[in-house]
Every structure is written in structure tokens, then in C-alpha cells.
Amino acid sequence: MNTKNCDAFQTTRWSLVLQSLSGSESALDELISLYWYPVYGYVRRRAKSDQEAEDLTQGFFARLLERDYLASADRERGKLRAFLLTDLKFFLSNERDKANALKRRGEFPDLPLDFLEKSDHLPAEPLGPEELEQWFDRSWAHEVFDRALTEVEQYYRENGSRELFDLIKPCLAEVKPGIYSQIAEEMGRTPNYVKQQVFRLRDRFRIAFRQIVADTVDSKDEIDAEISHLLGALMK
């Protein structure tokens, strides 16, 4: 698991990442696989049909694949979340025809988008502009949370502690009364041992979550504010 100190904040800023993506298909694939769902959910609430939403989402990311576009992306400073949402609004207002033209010519790139898998998680009720932006931020926060949890789970699995992870994972969100004793009895350990393991789990998750957020902002001064924003979005 990547647990490097965010205070070092070397060359992981998203603006630099975007500039380098023009020469790295795997890096762009990773970016899209992590953050396509909030984009798709936003588009689907604005599109006339599910098919149009899929086409527009593919068209939007197809534009990110354009080398010249990525090279100039650093002109949009700030958070990756805000950048993508702002650019997505522009795209939907001005480039629907371009997405349709790409589809007709069969020029959609091979992107890691599984529309069917995610479709059941989209909001069913109509959303106004402000509510839709709130949903986008909340969905983005969930993606960051899930990625951090996946990295932590991988750490335990690689260290032969998958069973331990499965037992203490529920304590990441909430420590219910008596849960330490319950887990300790199942493990043949003491409640204090379980408490220590939960503390370590939470610390690993905090580091992973913070690093993922760090990779989506333009300076270390923005990390705490972005974390606060995402946690607030999860509570709405």
C-alpha cells in the first residue's frame, strides 16, 4: 500500500499528472477507472436517455485522451474534482454533437467503463442543478473511500492478515459496544489486542485516504480542505 508522507508532496499533483498522461495510456486508464462513475452519474441526470448518457460519457473522456487537450489542462488550477465537473458542464453545453460524431465514426476509445454494473446505484429521482452537484461530490467521495479501503485490504492480504482485516473491518466506521470482546473471543486474543489492531487499521486507512486526496489537489495546502469537503459530502 502506498503510505508515503503527504507533507513531502512531490510530483503527485494532478496538474502534473494530467500533463504526463498524454504519454501514458495506463495512467489515463487508471484515472478514468477511478473517477468515471461520478461523471457518468452526472451526465445521466442531464441526458435524454441512458444510451445518450453512455455516449456523452465516452465522448467526454475521449476528449481527455486528446494529446493537445491534456497538454494545456494545467491552465485550470485547483482540484481535480472541480476541474472535471467544470469541464464536464462545458462539454455538455457545447460538444454533444462531437460525441455523436465520434460514435458514428466508431472512434470511441476502449475505456474501462462498465455502465451496467453501476446503473443500479444512480439516483432515481430528478435532481436540480445544486442537488446534482452535491450528488457528484458525494459519489466522488465514495469512490475515494472505496479506493482507500481497497488499498488497505490489499495491504492485509499481502501480509497474510486477510482474516484479521475481515474481522475488524466493521470497526472502521463504528465501534459498537462489546465488539472488541466479541472479536477477541473469535480470534482467541485479548480485547486490548483487538483495540490495537483497530487503531492500526484506522491509521492505515487515514494515510491511504489522505494520499489519494493529495493526488487530486494542486498543493499540500489544499489537502485538509478537500478532505473536509469530501467528508461533509458523505454526510449529506
pLDDT digits (tens, 9 = 90+) for 93-104: 776 666 565 555
pLDDT digits (tens, 9 = 90+) for 162-189: 999 999 999 998 899 999 999 999 999 9
Cell representation of residue 93: 453545453
Cα separation, 124 vs 37, in Å, equals 15
Cell representation of residue 163: 482474516
pLDDT at 92 over 50: yes
pLDDT digits (tens, 9 = 90+) for 18-70: 555 555 566 666 777 778 889 988 888 888 788 888 888 888 887 776 655 65
Residue 79 has what DSSP assignment?
-
% of residues, the chain, pLDDT over 70: 68
Nearest-10 Cα torsion for 151, 1, 205, 210: -100
Cα separation, 141 vs 213, in Å, equals 10
Cα separation, 15 vs 225, in Å, equals 18
| pTM (two decimals) | 0.77
- Whole-number pLDDT of residue 145: 94
Give CA 66 to chain center in angstroms: 22
By C-alpha distance, which of 177, 57, 40, 52 is closest to 120?
A: 40
**Amino acid identity for residue 119 in this structure:** S
Buried-exposed string 135-149: b where 16+ CB fall within 10 A, e elsewhere: bbbbbbbbbbbebbb
Say how many C-beta atoms besides its own lie within 10 A of residue 50's C-beta: 12
H or E element at residue 47: none
More confidently predicted of 234 and 72: 234
